[in-house]
Amino acid sequence: MRVIAQYANDGVSYQGPVAKGDTAGVYSSWDALVLALVGGRYVTSGKVYDYVSTGLPVMSAHEPAHAAAEILEGYPLWVRNEGMDTEPLARAFIATAHMAVDATVEDREKARAHSAQFERYAQIEPAVDRITEQLTNNQGSTE
């Protein structure tokens, strides 16, 4: 908290945890998001899906070989981190700040469109269609 207080004049603050149902409203009041995760290649977080649905610039602050990178691949406003050392992270923060200022409405719409592939029904509907087709085709069967 001391570090946060030290930068309060620069607009840095900590508002505490946010209820899951309130995250969209909170995110919409921000300019960019930092995806800070632990874990690695086979560990992801629901947060990455929330982030790509916003249309905001998203900066990765996790190991480069992380499952979240698979979700972010192709996201037009993603700032990929080059590593977890100070200099690569500093460059990523700077690039994210530029992106937050320079992104157009069209850029943000393309970013939101990227997330449509991860929407729950987009994931489930093809499987339901396959099962429905199989059941429909097997209705006349005597097996």
Task: Enumerate the domain spans of the chain.
Answer: 24-138
Per-residue pLDDT 10s for the chain (143 aa) are: 899 999 999 988 899 999 989 998 999 999 999 999 887 666 667 889 999 999 999 999 998 888 899 899 999 999 998 888 999 999 999 999 999 999 999 999 999 999 888 876 666 777 778 888 888 887 765 55
Q: List helix spans (H) across the chain.
A: 2-6, 23-27, 46-52, 67-72, 86-102, 105-115, 120-138
